Structures are given as structure tokens and as C-alpha cells.
Structure 1
């Protein structure tokens, strides 16, 4: 989406609330990638992120008339998304919680050499990249929900501490202090165990078959490597009021941003083609 000004976005909101389908579609298209990437980091898997993103975007649409312009539109969307995701319990890791202790023990003691070739003729380097993206994403599930929110807003989206604190109900100082502690904890774990992003001995190429055996990746469903990455410039265009926090963000540059999957886009198009306008006008 081309960059639009705050004034132009406010006009789009007015038009959407009045029943302008094109204006509503433009607004939703402008934030759906942001919502999907936040959901993916919070929930860990593409299917769960798709389901949660659809719920969040419907909430954005149905609550659009309540937007008063007291914050940027993207900040308002972030607040809706974060509140939804903090309470979301339908995802896989809500039923199978992880911990750094479990992750570390599996890296140390997993019998990676005892597994036969399960690659199904898929290039092993491709599967290793899929595992890397999946592993570093799922690793976020070792954090509690609040810490995960703080880390994702700070390390991936680089949200200004005042805005992030407002979204999470924290003072900017408390947010920065907690973000610093969480980032150090994540960096320590990577440095101890991960040979791809830190100084550890674990390398994805050696654990591909083990990961397939344990259903962590599938040669038939390469969600991360088949997804289309989004440039950092484009992500900056679809969210405003987002500022860099500090230079430590480079430690976590392996967290890529992705375009919304086509299944999510189609679901939102179907919703917009239905009763969306009457819902927006009467909300």
C-alpha cells in the first residue's frame, strides 16, 4: 500500500464508517500484514496466526466507528490486537506450553543421530531454513504472555516505549526496564544453545530429520520458507508512530516479517463482501 498521511487516513475512516467499501478495504489492507505478524510471533504457528488475525481484523472493522483519532490508527489497531492475543487460548501452545528449560534440554539430549532420512526429497538446506525460522519463532513461546508482548513490540516492531507502555498499561520506564531484561534473557539463551543466531553448538542442518520426526516442521508444509517476506521499509509504511529503541535490535534481525497468507486475505475479502458495511455503520 502506498504511504498515506494521518489526515488521509482519518478521511478514509470517515468514508468507511459511512459505508464506502473501497475506503474500508484500503484501511484493512493497510494493517493486515502488521496484525498477522504480531499474531504469528505471539502464537507461534501460521494456522493459529491466520485464525487470530481474522478475528482481530473483524474487531477492527466492527469497532471502527469508535476510533477517535487520539492515537495513530496503527497504535489503535495494535491495542485491539494485543488485548485479543493476550487472552487467546485456542492456539497450540496454550495447550502445550514451552519453557527455556525444556528447549535447552531438548537441544542437549535430543537423539538427532538416531533418526532416518525423512526429508522426502526436499532440499535439506531448505528444510534447515524452515527449521531456523520456526525454531526462533516458537522460542518466543518460552516467555509468558506479557513478556512475549513486550519483547515482540520492542525487538521486532521497535515500538516507542511511550506507545508500547500505553498499549500494555505500563509506564515507559517500566516497559524499557522489562524489555531490557527480556532481551538479555533471550540473547543469553541463543548464545548458549543456538549455533545459527548465537554461539551455541546447535545447528539446524543437523536437526532437520529430528524436527520432522517430532512434527516441528513438515516437508509438505513449508510455511516460513514459502511465505513472502516484507521489506522493513514496507513495514514502516503500514504502521506509524513506531520508532527504534536501541541498537540491540540488530541481535534479533532474524525475525522476518511476512505478507499475510492468501487464505487470510480471502477470508477478509469475503467478510468485506458481506455485511461489513452495515456492521460498521451500526457498531
Structure 2
């Protein structure tokens, strides 16, 4: 599944050509750093975790068998490094309980959000995502922003398919609750209720 270019650089690196690995770093550094920033919310920690990710990938490159894409493999390393960093720092994220959400409230929120420009929606959604627990925020980010398939997310997180689907469902519900509690009142004040 690895692209021919990636495979060539991997083989050269394993044979001792350290310059070949720099091509892989260059190709995937934005992806790794972006994930690290989303999960850690600290530029300094994201840079450190990104560097650690490439060091770990370099040291374990001979273990990469090519069963998945190289990008998925390195994404998984970055994801695990971020989780380790979060556990180490014991940063607590406030969570709110999920109450039952009625279809009317969902539709009402959707209708209001349709009236806002795409850019404003993106800013509001990022703010709402940042209020979610780290795991839920990361899963939603992987699925919707990084556009990873369920299969790729399963490879990265090592969740079963059914567990991942449940976690994504719960994350969507919690995100909707955050939108409802934090964004909807502001929008109603600004745009009025439909």
C-alpha cells in the first residue's frame, strides 16, 4: 500500500542512506505537526512530539512491512506519542454530560448554522471541538478534517470497528451538545430564532 516513492526512501534509509529519510520527514512533517497541535494545543509540545515521532519512525523503520500506507503508520506513531504526552502531563479536560437531544433542537441548531458564513462556521466548530475531551476531539478531527477512513482510524487507534463507531457517535452527540449550549444562544441573540 505504500507509494513507490515512499518505499524507495524507506529501502534507502534501511540501507543506511540518512538523506533518504529526510525526504520522508519533509513529506509528512506538516501532517504530524498538525495532528500534534490539535491534540496537545501547545506549539512547544507539538514540536517535541513531532520530533520524537520521526525519531521513533527512523529507529523502527525496519519493522514497517508496508501492509498499510506509510502515512497511516507514521500517523499512528504520532497519535500514540501525543496520547503518551497527554497521560504524562495529566491535563484534564472538562467534560459535560450528554443529555438526550431532541430532533427539534438538532434541526433548530442546524438551521441557524446554515445562515452563518462558511468561515464563521469553521471558527465556531473549532472552538466547540476544543471544548470536547481529547479523545473525542481527535477522533472527529481524524474523520472529518484529516478525512481518514474508518479503516485508517482503526489502524491508528487500534479500536474495533464497532467500538470506533460508538465512540464517533458519542463524540458527535457531545459536539452537538456543546454547539447547543455555547453557540446557539449567541446565534439566537445575533440572528433571532427562526
Indicate whether the TM-score tops 0.5. yes
**Superposed displacement of residue 46, structure 1:** 1.6
Rate the CA distance shift 1:96–1:82 in 2: closer, same or farther, 3 A: closer
* Counterpart residue number, 1:200: 185
| Alpha-carbon distance in 2 for matches of 1:97, 1:47 | 19
Q: Map of 1:126-275 to 2, 5 A cutoff?
A: 136=127, 139-140=130-131, 142-143=132-133, 145-194=134-183, 199-201=184-186
Cα deviation 1:27-84 (Å, max 9, x = unaligned)? 1111111111111111112222112111112111221122111111011111211222
Structure 1, unpaired ranges of 5+: 102-128, 203-283
The residue aligned with 1:98 is: 93
CA contact (8 A) 2:32 2:50 kept: yes
Greater share of helix: 2
Residues 108-134 of structure 1 deviation map (CA, whole Å, 9 limit, x = unaligned): xxxxxxxxxxxxxxxxxxxxx9xx69x
Are the structure 2 counterparts of residues 165 and 95 from structure 1 closer, same or farther at C-alpha, using a change threshold of 3 Å?
closer
TM superposition shift of 1:90: 7.7
Structure 1 residue 166, shift from structure 2 partner: 2.6
Unaligned runs of 5+ in 2: 97-119, 188-194
Counterpart among 17, 20, 40 of residue 17 in structure 2 = 20
If asked which structure has higher relative contact order (CA below 8 Å, sep 6+), I would say 1
RMSD value, Cα = 2.7
Instruction: Rate the CA distance shift 1:138–1:164 in 2: closer, same or farther, 3 A.
Output: closer
In structure 2, the residue corresponding to 1:27 is in which secondary structure?
helix
SS of residue paired to 1:201: helix
Q: How many residues align?
A: 160
Does residue 73 in structure 1 map to residue 70 in structure 2? yes
